[in-house]
Amino acid sequence: MRGKASTNRFYSILIYVFGFLLLWEWLKPLKVVTDTGNLSFFVIFMALSLAMSHFRVHMAVSGAVKVLFIAVSMHTLYFDGSLFDPSWLGLFLEDLWLNLGLTLGRDWSDLSFPYRSLLFFILLWLMTYLLYYWLSVRKAILLFYVMTVTYISVMDTFTAYEGDRAIIRVVVFGFLLMGLLTLERLIEGEKLLGTKMSRHRWIVPLTVLLGVSSIVAFAAPKADPIWPDPVPYLKSFSEGAGGLEGVSKLGYDSDDSKLGGPFIGDPTVVFTAEVTKEHYWRIETKDLYTGKGWEQSQEDESGISFLSGEELPYKLAPGDQDRKLETEKVTVEEGYTHVVYPYGIEKVAGNEKGSFELMPVNEKIRSLNEAGEPVKLEDYAVTYRTPSYSQKGMRAANTDQEAMQVPEFVERYTQLPASVPERVKELAVSITADKKDWYDKVRAIEGYFEKEAYVYDQFDVPIPEEGQDYVDQFLFESQRGYCDNFSTSMVVMVRSLGIPARWVKGYTEGDYKRQLDSVSKLYEVSNNNAHSWVEVFFPEVGWVPFEPTVGFNNNVAYEYDLDLEDSDKEEDQAPVPEKETPKKPLQPDSDEGSSGGGFSIKDLWEDFTSFLADNWGKLLIGFILLVFAAVMAYIFRRRWLPYFLIFYYRRKRSGDVYSEAYLSLVKQLGRYGLKMQDGQTLRGYSRYVDSFFGTYEMTSLTNRYERTLYGHKPDREDWVKMRELWENLIKRTTG
C-alpha cells in the first residue's frame, strides 16, 4: 500500500508541475513586451502558491505566507534599508493610497511601479487559485490550455515576442497534463482506486505517442500557408497601431517612386473579361529607374485621340497578320479612367459619346468624355491579334542596327543611376558570359531567378535603407520579394549590358470562373492580380515581353523561324550514308563501370546515393512512421496478439500443438495482468484465473495439459473441444 500511495503522490505532484509550467508561459513574454526587469519573484510566488495548494495547507497559514512573501518582494524591489524598519511600510501605504485614487480616476498612465507589481501579485494569487481548482476539483484543464495557446499566439503575432518554442512547450505540457487529468477522472469515476489499475499503462503510451508525433511533425515538410497573413491588413486599418510603415495594399497605383516593403492582399474585383485565351492585361510602361523605384523620364504631353472602333494611331505591339482578329469584352467593376488591353491591340470600342486617348510617353490609353476630360467606363471591347516574335530577328539584334543609332532612344532605355552598385553589373555579365546574342542573354537573366531559387513573397519583404539600391538589396541580401523586385532587377541587369529595356505594369489573366460558350471563358481580375513585368527592345522586332517573376508565365508566342532560308537546300540534298564502323567485341563490365548498358557497381552506387539525396526526407519520415508503428504494435500487443495466436494454432498440425497453445495462453494472461506467482501450482493458478473471469475454462484446460504432460495426447475431437475453450479464454484478454 505504501508503494501505491507513493506512486499516486508522484503523479499528483507531476500534475501540479505541468500546471506550473503552463502558467509560467504567461510570464515569459513580459520581458520582451514590457519593462519588467525581474520576474524571478513572481515565478517563485507562483511555485510557492501551487505547492501550498497541493499539500492542502490551511487557508490562514497559506494566506499569511503569501502576504509575507509579497511584502519581502516589494521591499527588495523598490525600497532601501532594513525589512524590519517600519518606515518603508509607511511609504508603501502612502503610495498605495495615492494609486487607489488614480485607479478610481482611471488615470492608468500615472500608476507607480510598486502599485503595478502589487496588482500583478494579486492577479497571480487569483490565477494560482483557479489553477488549483481546475487541477484538483474539476480535474479538467482544457479551458486554461486553450487560453494559454491563444495568449502565446497573440503575443507572437502582434508583439516582438518569438513564440515558436513556447508553443511547442505548451503543446507538450498541455497534452501530458490533460492526459493525466483524464486518467484521474477515470479512476475516480469508475471506482478504480482499490484495483490494480496502473497509471504507467496510461502515461507511457501517451508520452510515446506525443513524442513520436512531435518528431514526425518536425521532420515532415511544411506546406505554405493557404490564406494570407491577416495581421498586416488589420494593422493597416487600425489607428495608432504603432505606425505600420511600408505596408501597402495590392492593386494598381500610378506612383512607383518608392518600391519595397510588404503588401497585403486585396481581393476586390477590378474587372471581369470574356476572353478567348489567357493573356496579360497591359496598362503602362515606365523608363526612369531612380535606385528606389520608377518614374517617367519625360513629362506627359498631349495624347493622340481616336474614336471608339477606330484603329489605334500606332501599333503598341507587332500583331501577327496571319492570326485572326480576336474581340474580348471587359466589364469594369472598380471604376477607373484607363483601359486595360492585351498585346497586339488594334481597336477599342465602348465610349460612343466620347473618345480615347493614347499617351505616347507611357503608352497608357485613357477614356475621355465629350469635353475631353477623363471618364470612367462601365464596359468596353478590345480587338487584337496575338503577336508572334521572330526568334531569328531577336538573335540578329545588335548595336549596329538602324534603330540603335538614335542616341535619345538608347540613352532613355539603357539609363541607370550612378547609385547602382558595380556588383549588379558584374552579376549580369557573369550570368550571360557564355551567351553570344541579345536574345540568349535576356533569356539567361530571365531564368536566373528561378535557377538560383529566389523566393516569391509579399509579406516578408524589406524596404531599402537610406542610400541603399532597391535592386542591389534584392539580388544580394533578401533574395525574396514580389513582381516589382523581380521585374525591376531584370530591367536593370539587361540595361547594364547595353540592351534597351523598360518596366511594364498591368494585370495577370486573373481567376477562371466559368466557360461561357465553346469559345469564350469568363475571367475575374482583382487587385491581387496586379503585376509588373519586363519588355526588351529588339531592332526589327520591337518590344518583347519577358516574365522573370518566379511562379508566373506570360504566354508569349515565339516564331520559330531559325535557318528557314537553308531549309530548301537541305531538302534537295540527298542524305549521305554513314560509313559503317566495325563492331568491337563486348568487354566484360569492370568495377569502375562501363559506358555500355551492362551492370555497373559504380553506377548502381551513384544511383543509390542520388536516390538517398533526393528522398532523404521521405525516407526519414517513413522510417519514423515504421518505428512508431512497431512501438505501438508492441505496446498494444495484448489487443491483437490473441487473434494472431488463434489463426496460428488453428493451422498447426504437430503433435505438441496443445502444449504450445497452453503455454502461449499463460503468457497472454500474464500480459493481461494475471501473472503466475512464484511457487504457485498450475491448478492454483487455474482456479485464480477462473475466479477472475467467472468461468471454469482455465481449470479444464489445465487438467487436459497435465494429462498431456504424462503422455496422454488428445485425439482430434478432444483437441477441437479444448481449442474452443482455449480460444474463448484467450479472447477475454483483449478486453
How is residue 419 written as a grid cell?
547609385
At residue 275, the 3 state secondary structure works out as strand
Contacts of 155 (CB under 8 A, 6+ apart): 29, 33, 161, 163
The residue extents of the domains of the chain are 2-219, 256-563, 637-732
In tens, the pLDDT along 15-35 reads: 888 888 888 888 888 877 676
Residue 451, Cα to own-chain centre: how many angstroms? Answer: 22
Task: Report whether pLDDT(364) > 50.
Answer: yes
Residue 503: closest CA among 542, 523, 481, 533: 533
pLDDT at 549: 93
pLDDT at 55: 85
Residue 357: closest CA among 404, 304, 300, 405: 304
Q: What is the mean pLDDT of residues 529-552?
A: 91
Please give the residue that has the higher pLDDT: either 376 or 609.
376
Alpha-carbon distances of 344 from 303, 314, 443, rounded to whole Å: 20, 11, 22
Q: Which pTM value belongs to this model?
A: 0.49
DSSP run (H or E) holding 546? strand 542-546
Please give the residue that has the higher pLDDT: either 33 or 215.
215
Site of grid cell 566495325: 582
Task: Please tell me what DSSP assigns to residue 713.
Answer: -
Residue 474: closest CA among 529, 427, 528, 506: 427
Within a 13 Å sphere around the CA of 192, how many CA atoms are in the beta-carbon half? 13
Q: What is the mean pLDDT of residues 184-190?
A: 74
- Four-point Cα dihedral 187, 188, 192, 198, nearest 10: 30
At residue 530, the 3 state secondary structure works out as strand
pLDDT at 577: 41
Task: Report whether pLDDT(533) > 90.
Answer: yes
What is Dmax (Cα atoms) for the chain? Answer: 120
Mean pLDDT of the chain: 80
Q: Is residue 517 packed enough to be buried (19+ CB in 10 Å), middle (13-18) or exposed (0-12)?
A: exposed
In tens, the pLDDT along 369-406 reads: 888 888 999 899 999 988 888 888 888 888 888 878 78
Residue 722: closest CA among 652, 669, 659: 659
With cut-offs at 50, 70 and 90, classify the pLDDT of residue 106. confident
Q: What is the mean pLDDT of residues 591-613?
A: 58
At residue 64, the 3 state secondary structure works out as helix
Q: How far apart are CA 392 and CA 299, in angstroms?
A: 36
Q: Is residue 381 packed enough to be buried (19+ CB in 10 Å), middle (13-18) or exposed (0-12)?
A: middle
Q: How many CB atoms lie within 10 A of CB 646?
A: 15
Please provide the distance, in angstroms rounded to a whole number, between the alpha carbons at the two ends of the chain: 26
Q: What are phi and psi of 73, to 5 degrees?
A: -65, -45
Alpha-carbon distances of 620 from 42, 118, 169, 213, rounded to whole Å: 43, 52, 24, 13
pLDDT at 711: 67
Q: How far apart are CA 719 and CA 722, in angstroms?
A: 5
Q: How far apart are CA 257 and CA 286, in angstroms?
A: 11
Q: What is the mean pLDDT of residues 109-120?
A: 84
In tens, the pLDDT along 498-516 reads: 999 999 999 999 998 888 8
**Are 308 and 356 spatial neighbours (Cβ–Cβ below 8 Å)?**
yes
pLDDT at 599: 47
Site of grid cell 523620364: 297
Site of grid cell 477472475: 692
Please give the residue that has the higher pLDDT: either 150 or 197.
150
pLDDT at 546: 94
**Are 374 and 367 spatial neighbours (Cβ–Cβ below 8 Å)?**
yes
pLDDT at 139: 84
**Are 149 and 167 spatial neighbours (Cβ–Cβ below 8 Å)?**
yes
pLDDT at 200: 66
**Are 665 and 726 spatial neighbours (Cβ–Cβ below 8 Å)?**
yes
Residue 549: closest CA among 438, 452, 454: 454
Residue 290: closest CA among 267, 337, 318, 257: 257
Please give the residue that has the higher pLDDT: either 106 or 177.
177
Q: How far apart are CA 682 and CA 730, in angstroms?
A: 17
Task: Report whether pLDDT(484) > 90.
Answer: yes
Q: How far apart are CA 220 and CA 222, in angstroms?
A: 6
With cut-offs at 50, 70 and 90, classify the pLDDT of residue 594. very low
pLDDT at 79: 84
pLDDT at 285: 93
Site of grid cell 503598341: 316
Q: Roughly what angle, to the nearest 10 degrees, separates helices 2-24 and 40-54?
A: 150
Task: Report whether pLDDT(525) > 90.
Answer: yes
Contacts of 513 (CB under 8 A, 6+ apart): 272, 521, 522, 523, 524
pLDDT at 674: 83
**Are 91 and 81 spatial neighbours (Cβ–Cβ below 8 Å)?**
no
Share of the chain above pLDDT 90, in %: 21
